[in-house]
Amino acid sequence: MEIRQAQQEVDLWIKTIGVRYFSELTNMAILTEEVGELARIMARKYGDQSFKKNESPEALADEMADVLWVLICLANQTGVDLTEAFQRNMEKKTIRDASRHKDNEKLR
More confident residue, 70 or 51: 70
Rounded mean pLDDT, 61-70: 98
Return contacts of 62-68, CB within 8 angstroms, 24+ apart. 63/34, 63/37, 63/38, 64/38, 66/34, 66/37, 66/38, 67/31, 67/34, 67/35, 67/38, 68/6
What is the C-alpha separation between 96 and 2, in angstroms, rounded? 26
Question: Which candidate, 43, 47, 39, 88, places its Cα nearest to that of 66?
Answer: 39
Full-model pTM: 0.89
Q: What is the pLDDT of residue 66?
A: 98
> pLDDT per residue over 83-101, tens digit each?
999 999 999 999 998 888 8
Q: Is the pLDDT confidence value at 10 over 90? A: yes
Q: What is the pLDDT of residue 56?
A: 84
Q: Is the pLDDT confidence value at 53 over 90? A: no
Torsion-angle region of residue 80: left (phi > 0), alpha (psi -120 to 50) or beta? Answer: beta
Domains of the chain as residue ranges with CATH: 3-81 (1.10.287.1080)
Q: Is the pLDDT confidence value at 31 over 90? A: yes
